[in-house]
Amino acid sequence: QARGSKQQGRCAGAGQGAAGAMKYSREAENSTKSCKASGSDLRVHFKNTCVTAAAIKKMQLKKAKKYLEDVLEHKQAIPFRFFNGCIGRHAQAKMTNATQCRWPKKSCEFLLHLLKNAESNAEVRLRTALCNKAVKFLKRCQDVYWSL
């Protein structure tokens, strides 16, 4: 019952304003020169996306887009400074003063799509890049084990 009520509260707009508007982690100091974009429950790895968002944080919009496009072409790499267990060491990591790096394709594509979405309103830099874990989906069990 507690799980059902939690699900019901989320659908009813829990944590949102009276008008059902999206609640962001930060408000802009100058709203005329800033923009907001968000994605919810994206089917990407949380840790890769969090590290990728940290890499483009505080970059100019055009520079961030160019950087993500270069990562997709393996010209530059995303430095893994946290969530870096079992991450290999590569020479490209020297460009960002790190030792461990990767090229997370799917995370870069999702963040690039978010930046292109926000591009119409933004002309300055990214103030905040925030990642939260998505809702976990239930995995299907095979009926073989239950039919015994």
100 forms beta bridges with: 89
Higher pLDDT, 27 or 34: 27
Q: How many Å apart are CA 46 and CA 59, to the nearest integer?
A: 21
21, burial (CB in 10 Å: exposed 0-12, middle 13-18, buried 19+)? exposed
pLDDT at 141 over 70: no
pLDDT at 21: 65
pLDDT band at 13 (very low <50, low <70, confident <90, very high): very low
Say if pTM beats, i.e. exceeds, 0.75.
no
- By percentage, how much of the chain surpasses pLDDT 90? 43
Residue that has been written with the tokens 């292109």 in this structure: 116
Tell me which residue of 56, 72, 63, 66 sits closest to 130, measured CA to CA. 56
